[in-house]
Structure 1
Amino acid sequence: MSDIISVLVVDDSAYNRQTFKNILKKEEGIEVVGVASNGMDAMGKVLRLRPDLITLDFEMPEMDGMTFLRWLMSEAPTRVLMVSSHSDSATVFKALELGAMDFVVKPTSRASLELKNIERDLIEKVRGVREMNMEVLSKNLKKIEKKSRRKAKRAKIKTDISVLAIGSSTGGPSALQMILTEIPSDIPCAIVISQHMPRGFTAPLASRLDTLCSIKVKEAQSSESVLPGTAYICPGGNHMSFSRYGEDIKINLIESKEDDKYTPSVDEMMSSAANTFPVK
């Protein structure tokens, strides 16, 4: 792969196509090699242009994004960033199962501040997705498919660890599924997770993982106690830290600011966990 990231933008909205093209073409090292208005159009351009990465909308005429994604991963595996509205959370996670590496929130014609946040997210994920190995991803997706809904059954775990803290970003939802489905319900420590994800998506992610795992998985709530055998996912748009009250450790959720580079902050969660949870 060359130093230039070649991108194909696939979206039936002319506004979205132009918005993504304008954002990406400003960035050094990124080249938009083509645009397509539906899945049929995209199929020909994928085979002709061989892009490093595709931004892909769900809802399109003639061939929708999900149908195109199935074809793509079978015939010409390529890194994909799905483009989603906040109401598409269930579809997002299905797309991630099929091989999409991450998603970005669909732009609207509203305020420039929202567009700036989308711009930052898009650039970060385009660069992050480039580093992901398609061969490794394909193998991991096959593992996920084989053990989907198979809950871990292991011998009783003995450990001195009081908390397992996980930070994840691009490719994180699939990685979290692989990790959490291997953890048995009797694990004697809590699990806390900061996954870079917008508001509105962490609750469906937690709910979906909860159906697949032996442990309980939930979106964290402010002031709730942290308990063993439970995984707490920081809500999108917040940072998570912890406070200790005797033997009880509670979750603190802090609203993110517009200029925060990463939300949730993995560093903030890790630092707080290290300072709060007991050393056994």
Structure 2
Amino acid sequence: MKPISVLIVDDSAFMRKLIKDFLSEDPRITVLDTARNGQEAIEKTIRLKPDVVTMDVEMPVLNGIEAVRGIMNSYPVPIIMLSSTTKAGAENTILAMEAGAIDVIAKPSGAISLDLHKVKKLLIEKVIASSKAKITSLKGSCEKQDLKVKLEPIRSNNLSKLVLIGTSTGGPRALQEVITKLPADLHVPVVVVQHMPAGFTKSLANRLDSLSRVRVKEAEHKEPLENGTVYIAPGGYHLRLNEKMGRPIITLDKERPIGGHRPAVNVLFSSAAKLKNYQKIAVIMTGMGSDGTLGIIDLKESAETIVITEAEESCIVYGMPKAAVLTKKVDEVVHLESIAGTIQNYL
């Protein structure tokens, strides 16, 4: 099997060497070259045609955002952002993901062996997973195809409704596609788990809020859900829904990661399954792995739930939606462009 080829882009010689050393330790990966700025990154991507690019955000000549745009326009390839968790770093990372980057890793905070070890493991995992990503879908080259799974329709009822969304790799761009299409008078709350490191989810929420007609915010502990608001689970915390005085309340905790994730989609979905007097609309979009699958089973067994998954045609990584479909508990499989409309159909 041919090794996964990687181009490393960073203006710091120390970081270029560190990332190269990390990746070179895995026999499945080969480092083709390094680049010191965004302009070099574009030129070397076109010439070397790597399978994956790791990209710094803040660089001279051309920054990471401009480099991502240039690469996506000339030779689309999976790009992983390596960014500091400063406010500016996080905001620029979200813009780079909007431009086409599919994942993010927080840069090591210092030369602490434990910190570096965690980053090495994560970096290798994400490079391998990203090498399988379908980047052509970012340019809209796939045909839209909606597949309706004929299940017994949920009967009309007077239950309050709740929308739950889970996503991972490629998720920020998918969330933008869905959330910006929701109407200003949305009469339900929406709760989102996006796999993302601590420090980035607030910038994601702020960016989505600036683009959307609904209110979007990072979720807070003990916050009651309000209609017309989208709540993004903060990175590093599980988000659970509990009922208090007949109203759903957000609780955040730092219990152990589930399936390697915190926040985890399974945690959100399984907690929502315990809410009585609510009809849930659960959505699984692009992402590697199978997070959300056990939660879907809990939701379907406990209460009236509609499950929608993103179609393979539009997924950057068809992992989480595929695992959900295999449960045979999915009601609709739809192209990303149709998810917002499908949610509204059930409201």
| 8 Å contact from structure 1 (residues 9, 54) kept in 2 | yes
The two structures have a TM-score, normalised by structure 1, of 0.84
Q: 1:26 — aligned with what?
A: 25
Q: 2:70 — aligned with what?
A: 71
Which structure 2 segments of 5+ residues have no match?
Answer: 142-156, 280-347
The two structures have a TM-score, normalised by structure 2, of 0.69
| 8 Å contact from structure 1 (residues 99, 138) kept in 2 | no
SS of the equivalent of 2:94 reads helix
| Distance change >3 Å, CA 229–CA 6, structure 1 → 2 | same
SS of the equivalent of 2:210 reads helix
User: Could you tell me how far 1:4 is from its partner in structure 2?
Assistant: 2.9
| 8 Å contact from structure 2 (residues 258, 264) kept in 1 | no
Q: Tell whether 2:4 aligns with 1:5.
A: yes
SS of the equivalent of 1:115 reads helix
User: Could you tell me how far 1:267 is from its partner in structure 2?
Assistant: 0.9
SS of the equivalent of 2:7 reads strand
Q: 1:112 — aligned with what?
A: 113
User: Could you tell me how far 1:138 is from its partner in structure 2?
Assistant: 1.8
Code of the residue aligned with 2:5 in structure 1: it is S
| Distance change >3 Å, CA 117–CA 258, structure 1 → 2 | farther
| Distance change >3 Å, CA 13–CA 206, structure 1 → 2 | same
Structure-to-structure mapping, 1:244-259, within 5 angstroms: 244-257=243-256
SS of the equivalent of 1:203 reads helix
In structure 1, what is the Cα distance between the partners aligned to 2:180 and 2:257? 34
Q: 2:13 — aligned with what?
A: 14
- CA RMSD of superposed structures (Å): 2.4
Q: 1:208 — aligned with what?
A: 207
User: Could you tell me how far 1:264 is from its partner in structure 2?
Assistant: 0.8
Q: 2:285 — aligned with what?
A: none
Q: Tell whether 2:128 aligns with 1:127.
A: yes
Question: How many positions carry a matched residue from both structures?
Answer: 262
| 8 Å contact from structure 2 (residues 193, 233) kept in 1 | yes
| 8 Å contact from structure 2 (residues 65, 93) kept in 1 | no
In structure 1, what is the Cα distance between the partners aligned to 2:32 and 2:158? 52
User: Could you tell me how far 1:47 is from its partner in structure 2?
Assistant: 3.0
The 10-residue stretch of structure 1 (167-176 or 65-74) with the greater mean CA deviation from structure 2: 65-74
In structure 2, what is the Cα distance between the partners aligned to 1:159 and 1:28? 57
1:12-54 CA distance string (max 9 Å, x none): 2122112212222223422212222233433443233210111
Q: 1:100 — aligned with what?
A: 101
In structure 1, what is the Cα distance between the partners aligned to 2:158 and 2:211? 24
Q: 1:148 — aligned with what?
A: none
Q: Tell whether 2:189 aligns with 1:185.
A: no
Q: 2:48 — aligned with what?
A: 49
In structure 1, what is the Cα distance between the partners aligned to 2:6 and 2:207? 31
Code of the residue aligned with 2:217 in structure 1: it is K
Code of the residue aligned with 1:196 in structure 2: it is H
The 10-residue stretch of structure 1 (234-243 or 111-120) with the greater mean CA deviation from structure 2: 111-120
1:187-212 CA distance string (max 9 Å, x none): 33221111111222111211111122
| 8 Å contact from structure 1 (residues 239, 265) kept in 2 | yes
User: Could you tell me how far 1:64 is from its partner in structure 2?
Assistant: 3.2
In structure 2, what is the Cα distance between the partners aligned to 1:190 and 1:258? 25
Code of the residue aligned with 2:126 in structure 1: it is K
